[in-house]
Amino acid sequence: MILPAHTFVASAVPFARTGATVRWAKFAPLGCRGFDGGNPDGLYTAVPIAEYIAHANRETLVCIQLEEQHAIDLAEAIAAVPGVDVLMLGPADFSILSGIPGDFGHPMILNAMTKIAAAARKTGKHWARPASNLEQARLALELGARMIFHISDLVIVKNGMERMQEQFAPLGFSFVNRLANAPISSNSPVLSRESAFA
């Protein structure tokens, strides 16, 4: 029987809690993860408990996402925690918390990637980051990243719908696309604090 491997990604983990995070991702004797064999990774109770636990402890990848400068500064210490497999830059939150929201080409992002890459190299761990384009992916790979997260299912669906709109427009079809460069305003019918509680 083939069981899947899984990744446990934890973000905004204070250094002091990194070891606890690893323990939450692993079953005893390596940790204190709660058991529920009725999930997809346990093939919905089709796997004997002992086999499931041994497989999960062996195959669950623990990835700690670094999203603020303090965490970047502690990257080597975080990577050195036993059970941590991957360090991951969270560029969106890092950019926001650094006062450069969405500026993914900013030198602070490159500096964070460089520090994470050095920490991963020194501790024999891997590092990762999301990349929304080929240039971001290329740079991460050049710095030694072993995992690249590219695009989400929601973006894939959105891109497909926009492509369909472009293809069908010459036939006279028109579409309402509320996601295409939609401005966010206080009176937006989609994003309104007041309407959420109405």
Model confidence over 66-83: pLDDT tens digits?
999 999 999 999 999 999
Q: Where are the domains of the chain?
A: 6-150, 154-196
Handedness of CA 116, 119, 122, 124 (dihedral sign): negative
List pLDDT tens digits, range 114-154: 999 999 999 999 999 999 889 999 999 999 999 998 878 88
Contact 157, 179 (CB under 8 A): no
Both tokens of residue 85?
């497999």
> Which class does domain 6-150 fall in?
alpha beta
User: Residue 183's pLDDT is what?
Assistant: 57
Distance (Å, rounded) from C-alpha 133 to C-alpha 148? 11
Residue 195: is its pLDDT beyond 50?
no
Angle of helix 107-123 relative to helix 134-142, nearest 10 degrees, comes to 40
pTM: predicted TM-score of the whole model, two decimal places: 0.77
Amino acid code (one letter) for 161: M
